[in-house]
Structure 1
Amino acid sequence: MAVVIIGTLDTKGEEIAFARSVVESQGVDTHLVDVGVMDDPEIEPDTTAAEVAEAGGTTLESLRESGDRGEAMEAMGDGAAAVAERLREEGVLDGVLGLGGSGNTSIATTAMRALPVGVPKFMVSTMASGDTEPYVGARDIAMLYSVADIEGLNQLSRRVISNAALATVGMVANEPDVEVPDRPTVAITMFGVTTPCVQHARELLEDRGYETIVFHATGTGGRAMESLVEEGLVDGVLDVTTTEWADELVGGVLSAGPDRLEAAGEAGIPQVVSTGALDMVNFGPRDSVPEEFADRHFHVHNPQVTLMRTTPEENAELGEIIAGKLNDATGPTAMVLPLGGVSMLDVAGEDFHDPEADGALFDALREGLDDDVELVEREEEINDEAFAAALAETFDEYMRDAGVAPEP
Structure 2
Amino acid sequence: MSVVIIGTLDTKAEEIGFARDVLESQGVDVRVVDAGVMGEPGPTVEPETPASEVAEAAGTTLERLRNEADRGEAIEAMGEGAAEIAEELHEKGVIEGILGLGGSGNTSIATAAMRSLPVGVPKLVISTMASGDTEPYVGARDIAMLYSVADIEGLNQLSRRIITNGALAMVGMVANDPDVDVDDRPTIGVTMFGVTTPCVQAARERLEDMGYEVIVFHATGTGGRAMESLVEEGIIDGVLDVTTTEWADELVGGVLSAGPERLEAAGDEGVPQVVSTGALDMVNFGPRDSVPEEFEGRQFHVHNPQVTLMRTTPEENAELGAIIAEKLNAATGPTALALPLEGVSAIDAEGEDFHDPEADDALFDALRSTLDDDIELLELETDINDETFAEVLAETLDEYMRDAGRAP
Alignment of 1:9-408 (within 5 A): 9-42=9-42, 43-406=45-408
Deviation of 1:50 after TM superposition, in Å, equals 0.4
Question: Counterpart amino acid of 1:179?
Answer: D
Question: Counterpart amino acid of 1:108?
Answer: A
User: Counterpart of 1:215 in 2: which secondary structure?
Assistant: strand
2-side partners of 1:182 and 1:341: how far apart? 36
Question: Counterpart amino acid of 1:41?
Answer: P
1-side partners of 2:133 and 2:155: how far apart? 26
User: Counterpart of 1:345 in 2: which secondary structure?
Assistant: coil
Question: Counterpart amino acid of 2:292?
Answer: P
Deviation of 1:32 after TM superposition, in Å, equals 0.2
User: Counterpart of 2:11 in 1: which secondary structure?
Assistant: coil
2-side partners of 1:150 and 1:352: how far apart? 49
Deviation of 1:305 after TM superposition, in Å, equals 0.3
2-side partners of 1:403 and 1:3: how far apart? 39
Deviations 1:350-388 (A, max 9, x none): 000000000000000100100110000000000000111
Moved more, 11-20 or 172-181: 172-181
Deviations 1:118-149 (A, max 9, x none): 00000000000000000000000000000011
Deviations 1:78-118 (A, max 9, x none): 00000000111112111000010000000000000000000
1-side partners of 2:93 and 2:203: how far apart? 40
Q: What RMSD over aligned residues (CA atoms) do the two structures have, in Å? A: 0.5
1-side partners of 2:145 and 2:168: how far apart? 14
Deviation of 1:44 after TM superposition, in Å, equals 1.1
2-side partners of 1:180 and 1:384: how far apart? 33
Question: Counterpart amino acid of 2:48?
Answer: D
User: Counterpart of 1:117 in 2: which secondary structure?
Assistant: coil
User: Counterpart of 2:364 in 1: which secondary structure?
Assistant: helix
User: Counterpart of 1:11 in 2: which secondary structure?
Assistant: helix
1-side partners of 2:324 and 2:23: how far apart? 49
Moved over 3 A (4+): none
Residue 4 (1) aligns with residue 16 (2): no
Question: Counterpart amino acid of 2:16?
Answer: I
| Structure 1 unmatched ranges of 5 or more | none
1-side partners of 2:200 and 2:82: how far apart? 39
2-side partners of 1:305 and 1:165: how far apart? 36
1-side partners of 2:247 and 2:404: how far apart? 28
User: What is the TM-score when the length of structure 1 is the normalising length?
Assistant: 0.99
2-side partners of 1:200 and 1:236: how far apart? 17
Aligned length, in residue pairs: 406
Deviation of 1:173 after TM superposition, in Å, equals 1.1
2-side partners of 1:54 and 1:182: how far apart? 39
User: Counterpart of 2:10 in 1: which secondary structure?
Assistant: coil
User: What is the TM-score when the length of structure 2 is the normalising length?
Assistant: 0.99
2-side partners of 1:156 and 1:372: how far apart? 62
2-side partners of 1:187 and 1:208: how far apart? 15
Deviation of 1:6 after TM superposition, in Å, equals 0.5
| Structure 2 unmatched ranges of 5 or more | none
Deviation of 1:176 after TM superposition, in Å, equals 2.5
2-side partners of 1:152 and 1:338: how far apart? 59
